[in-house]
Every structure is written in structure tokens, then in C-alpha cells.
Amino acid sequence: MKKRNLDSAPWIWRTISTVSILTTLLLLFGFGYAIKDVIFPEGDAQLGTGQQTTTPAKDNEQSKPAVKDGKIRMAVIGDSLARGTGDDEGLGFVRRAGNLLKNQGYDVQVLNNMGVNGLRTDALLSKLDEQGVRYVLQQSNFILLSIGANDLFQSGQVLQGEDAPTAESLTAALPETSKRLQEILKKVKEINPDAQIAYIGLYNPFGDVKELKEPGNAVVAAWNDAAMKVLNNEDKMTLVPTFDLFENHLGQYLSSDHFHPNGEGYEQIAVRIAQEYQAETPAEGSGK
């Protein structure tokens, strides 16, 4: 019996080695595919032709602007809300808004979703310097932006603190972060001055928590006001309000993590996005 166990040992190690190699190759393939998806974005097959876009320009070349053929080319960048975290259907507000506009007769293509879970304003500022990100934004004519919630609420971790934050502690970081928001909006505008840009305003996900309702409402209102000051001074830039949507419907529109919207919440934001697009560009992109 002992001899048979020794004889079978090499086969076991060969099997483990083979599985390890295959797993490593699979991980490398997935990593490479993710890189390709950022640098060479493909359209959403459900919201357009899925035709692959052209190769991004090199650093010393200027990218060509998006083709003006009446099609809405959407891209979204920012945090986990841009990503669609919490949506059990995985659509997020960008694909839901695309579906709404498509149902209204527009020709819509979602170029790329560049949302990153946990992203903050400082990281987004750096991300806007990446060649692949700039290329996607340059090829879009309707850019959606979501950022700021992680700066203010630490991705919902404020609920786990021993002491509830006060209005003062929540607003302590407001001057610096709102300044970065202004830099982000201006930078996106510089990357693509012709695109319609919609910034998704913040809501207070803790409005039903007694200790966080008042300070949360105050800091979110201050944040949205800071964004409006920038947006009001720029053409083709709008704020999509969400505070009033969630204020009295947190139990209905939030996911189980008590921070991100659920599918119904994302749908409500998408309706506002579609309305903002039609209000700002009533004669563009309509297939009617």
C-alpha cells in the first residue's frame, strides 16, 4: 500500500502543476482583456452596433473628435455609482438612460463604463490624464460623471464609526474636495468641449439615520451648490439632481448596503438623465 501511494505522488504533482499553469494563463488573459476594454472600447451591443472604435491617438497626436452623425455616444466615468454597483440587473444609470433614450427614438451607443468602486476626486483627477480614458471621452458626445460620495461619506463607512460624524466633521474636507470637483469638471470640458456633460448630483444615503440626517443633508447641499457654481458658468454642462429623488424614498431606492441605489433607484436617476439630455439637446440625436 505504501509503495502505491509513492508511485501516485508524481501524478498528483503533475495535475496540480497543470491546473496552476492553466489558472495563471486564464488570469493573464482576463487582465489583458480588461486592459483592451479600456484602451480599445467597444460599443454596448444592446445599445448600438457594437462596432469597435478606432485606435487611440498617440501622445503626440491629437485625437479626432467624435463623428457627428446624429448618434448619441455615451460614456460614464467616476465612482461605484457610475459603475452601477447595487443594481441587481447590472445596468446602472448609464445603460438604463440609454435604453430610455433609445425607446424614445434616439440612436444610442454606450462606448464605455469607466466607473471604479471607491474612486475619489483626487484619483479621478489623475485618471483623466490616462490616454485610454481621454480617448473614450473624446469619442463621446454625452458624458456622464459621478464623483464625490466617497470623499464625503467614506463609501458608507461612517456608519461603522464609534461616534456619529457631526456637520463640522463632514464639512471639514468640503473645501478641498469641492475644489477638486471644479478641476474635474473643467478638465473633462477641456478634453471634449463639444460634448454634453451631465454631473450626477449627490443624495444623502443616511437621511433615515437620526444622527446623520441633518449633517448629511447640510454637506450634500453644500457640495451640490459648489458643483452648480461651476456648471452654471459653462455651456453644455448640467447637474442631474438626485437629492429630492432619494430624500423620502431611501427604503425604496437604496440597495441592501444602504449606500448605493438598487435597480429602481438607478432607474429614477436614468429618467432624470434622459430628461436633462432632451432639455439641453432637443434637436440633436433624435431619430424621430
Q: Each residue of 31-67: pLDDT tens digit?
A: 565 444 444 444 454 555 443 344 454 544 455 555 6
Angle between helices 263-280 and 92-103 (to 10 degrees): 50
**Predicted local distance difference test score (pLDDT) of residue 165:** 61
Residue ranges in the chain modelled with pLDDT below 70: 1-9, 29-68, 154-167, 169, 282-288
State how far the Cα of 145 lies from the Cα of 155, in Å rounded to an integer.
Answer: 17
Chain centroid offset of residue 110 CA: 12
Strands, E assignment, the chain: 72-78, 108-115, 142-146, 196-200, 237-240
Grid cell listed for 240: 442631474
Strands 237-240 and 196-200: parallel
Burial class of residue 25 in the structure, from the number of CB atoms within 10 Å of its CB (0-12 exposed, 13-18 middle, 19+ buried): exposed
At position 144, the amino acid (one-letter code) is: L
**Predicted local distance difference test score (pLDDT) of residue 51:** 39
Q: Is residue 107 helix, strand or coil? A: coil
Per-residue burial over 134-164, b = 16 or more CB atoms within 10 Å of its CB, e = otherwise: bbbbbbbbbbbbbbbbbbbbbbbebbeeeee
The rounded mean pLDDT for the chain is: 81
At position 60, the amino acid (one-letter code) is: N
Dihedral-angle region of residue 5 (phi above 0 means left; psi in -120 to 50 means alpha; beta otherwise):
alpha
pLDDT tens-place string over residues 90-104: 999 999 999 999 999
Residue 154, phi then psi, degrees to nearest 5? 50, 50
pTM over 0.85: no
Residue 164, phi then psi, degrees to nearest 5? -65, 135
Q: Is residue 78 helix, strand or coil? A: strand
Burial class of residue 28 in the structure, from the number of CB atoms within 10 Å of its CB (0-12 exposed, 13-18 middle, 19+ buried): exposed
